Amino acid sequence: MDILQQAQEKLDRICSEANLDPAQQITVRCLTPDEAIGAEASQEFIIKKGQERVIEAEYNGAAGQAFTDQPSNWQGNLEEILQLDLNDTGQRAVFTAGLNAVLRRLGKAGGTIHCRNDEPSRCGEELANLLYNHFGVQKYGLIGLQPAILEAMGDGFGTSRLQVLDLNEDNIGEKRFGVTVGDGEKDLQQLIDWCDVGVATGSSVVNGSINDLLSRFEVAEKPLVFFGNTISGVAALFDLPRLCPFGC
């Protein structure tokens, strides 16, 4: 079963056990780039370019976000969010943001809000340091182009120890910080075979690619670490390794 569908079932049980009111309202809205990552954040980030957006759910005073290329506003209640069709990418994003907000309110997930201003740029160096502390100098496969992370990992481990993939056609085949960006679908198995450690964007939980990633890395018996705030709730529910140095 899709991991997000498992999360939906698990959240249903958690809400029942916590006696949460199924009529409690959840509001989801699409943030502007400046609201999402701050006016001072670099224009290099995809959010600033407007190609993808951050949506934010509010539940009983707690907020949770999700990164998506199919943003939308939504308003409903807890019962309705537990019934969303997770075969639809837009509804997957709404559910993910709502999941993050509810789990934050229950104290079961943190780092559900994207970092802002200078923090997204500083994130790369901090994340590279965390990877070094945990895994040392290895061959890393970065799945999902995040400029600050790619640059810092290239500086820290060397571009010869780094491969990067992305699903955005504007990036595929281009050279970024000394590394040529591969195709996130066609080149995935080659990257897994080559790398020692996978580092994947948490937005894979929204676009649906996470299930294939988890399966392939498990077969390869190689570690896979996720980054970012989007996957905060799913990571908490299923104990997935996640790095998000400045998420709040």
Task: With beta carbons less than 8 A apart as the criterion, state whether 64 and 232 touch.
Answer: yes
What's the pTM? 0.94
Question: Which one has a higher pLDDT value, 33 or 157?
Answer: 157
Based on the structure, what is the number of domains in the chain?
2
Integer angstrom CA distances of residue 140 from 95, 106, 111, 143, 196 = 31, 35, 24, 10, 6
**Does pLDDT of 241 surpass 90?**
yes
Q: Residue 113 domain-assigned?
A: no
Tokens of 117: 């201003």
Residue 50: the pLDDT is: 64
Is 127 found in the same domain as 83?
no
* pLDDT tens-place string over residues 117-166: 888 889 999 999 999 999 999 999 999 999 999 999 999 999 999 999 99
What whole-number distance in Å separates Cα of residue 59 and Cα of residue 45? 28
Last residue of some domain: 105, 133, 149?
105
Residue-range definition of the domain harbouring residue 136: 119-231
Q: Which residues pair with 242 in a beta bridge?
A: 226
Q: Considering the domain boundaries, does residue 62 fall inside one? A: yes
Do the domain assignments include residue 112? no
